[in-house]
Amino acid sequence: MDPGKITSGVLAILLPVSALCFALRYSADQRRSEAAAATTRTSALAPLAATTPSRTGLARLRDQPLLGSREQVRAALRHQLGEICSQGNAVIRTSALLALTDRLNQTDFPELMAALLDLGIQSYGDDQRLLISVWAELDPGAALAWENANPVPGRESVVLGVWSQRDPAGALSWLEIHRSGSEANLDAMGKLLRNWSSRDARAALSWLESHPEADPKHQLLQFALSGLPGSNLDLIGEMLPRLPEDIRRYLPQILSEALVRATAAERERCLQSLPDSQRIATVSAMINAMRDAPTAGKLELLRQYPAAMDGVAAGPFYDKWVGEDATAALAELQRMPAGPQRKAAIFGAVEGLSHYGGNARLALQLINDHPDEAGEEVLARWVMCAGPNHHEFLLAIDQLPRLSTPQAREQGLRETLESWFFNDAPAAREWMKTHEVPPAVAKAMEKY
């Protein structure tokens, strides 16, 4: 193994404290460089370079060369790994594992991994992750094949994490060759491309353009485009004429998450690079993707691109907005022209005002102001919320005659009375004494 091959990324996988990672990396690399300068290794299985006993307590391992048959090598590895992995100190154990790997050729790693499994070392533990990472530095194809044959449920590929940082094109080519229609490999290629695109968008997109056979359905292109950093989003305008028709059609949705992450200046550069129709559709998709963002930021975009409101999901938009600023939301809603968007906005605003902590009377006023657009469905939903969420039991009952079917009226009364009994049973009983109640509803209230 060539000294100094282990990158800080390998150690960073294992040690969350960055200072410790770099210190350990420096120590390991310096030790190996000094050993390489002092002597030329005559065998990949030469004895471990001298270590300081007081530092690791494992100096005796240097007297146990890995020579002999495969069975003997595996037995020696098992013994030495057992000694190393019994160490409770993570820094000492990691340093010793790195020292052990220095003695091996890339062809020895299968034996090393087999020995680790023989010992019953947890497959999801840091020791295995370190060894796979080192192997990935030397022979990523073989390491990935081993990793695929020994999967750990729920764990992202360690090898691809290392390989994609060092040689993303090589990793993609390997996955392409070995894909064989595997959805798992397609997903791995997509994640790798998205990561590569976030670091070097031109290189990632160039690889895709030069390997059209790898992406016949343009799924990988979607991954790459969705990973674009804000600083490279303006590449979209340049690429637009070369993008496949299906990608151009769904480009607003593909870009929406990346645009949400971008700064205002980066976002504007990207939008200005698009044709008018796609620019408006992209703003709409971006606003829909800003699910948890304050409404003020969405309004700023809509004031800049008012036509984008046509593509915004007005219901969720107004549901959230009335919770933040009901006065401003309802004033804006009143200015909307009649049509599907205002109908959806009314539905969303009533929903938002009917939530616990909202304003049931204001929601009812909105329904009364727009009875045709609100419709019976919105009124029925309001009735179901007015009692449980706002204790507006009498107000909810007063609206029941506006529901057109006996079933709807009975269900609304049942839901309202159940909530009323739960909150104030004496008042609910007094009301029932002076009002006619359908027999089925009266029977259901007997349990209270």
If you search the block for the tokens 């160490």, which residue do you land on? 87
423: confidence class by pLDDT, cuts 50, 70, 90 = very high
Mean predicted confidence (pLDDT) in 15-34? 36
Q: pLDDT digit string (tens) for 152-171?
A: 888 888 999 999 999 999 99
Per-residue buried b or exposed e for 365-395, using 16+ beta carbons within 10 Å of the residue's own CB? ebbeebeebbeeebbbbbbbbbbbbbebbeb
Reported as a single tens digit per residue, the pLDDT across 378-414 is 999 999 999 999 999 999 999 999 999 999 999 999 9
Residue 223 · residue 191 · CB < 8 Å: yes
- Average pLDDT over every residue of 184-206: 91
Q: How many Å apart are CA 337 and CA 32, to the nearest integer?
A: 74
> For the ranges 73-87, 226-240, 422-436, which has the lowest average pLDDT?
73-87
Q: Which of 103-112, 260-269, 347-356 has the lowest mean pLDDT?
A: 103-112
Residue 215 in contact with residue 244, Cβ under 8 Å?
A: no
Can you give the residue ranges of every domain in the chain? 1-149
Banded model confidence at residue 179, pLDDT cuts 50, 70, 90 = low
Contact (CB, 8 A) for 128 and 121: yes
CA distance linking residue 418 with residue 258, whole number of Å: 47
More confident residue, 222 or 87: 222
Query: Which pLDDT does position 124 carry in this prediction?
Result: 55
